[in-house]
Amino acid sequence: MSITSASICAAADALQGFVGFNAKTGQYIVRFSEDSFGLDVPGESITPTSEFVWTPLPGGVMRLSRERLQLLVAQNIDDRLHLGEALHVYLRRSDLPEISAERRVLPRASA
Structural Rg of the chain based on CA atoms: 15
Exposure string of 80-103, with b = 16+ CB inside 10 Å and e = fewer, is ebebbebbeebeeeeeeeebebee
Structural domains in the chain, CATH included, are 5-96 (3.90.1650.10)
Divide the 111 residues of the chain into consecutive groups of 10 and give the mean pLDDT of each group. 88 95 94 90 94 92 96 93 94 93 64 46
Task: Record the pTM.
Answer: 0.86
Give the per-residue pLDDT at 2: 81
Task: Identify the pLDDT of residue 111.
Answer: 46
**Three-state SS for 47?**
strand
Residue-level pLDDT at 13: 93
Give 104-109 contacts, CB < 8 A, sequence gap 24+. none
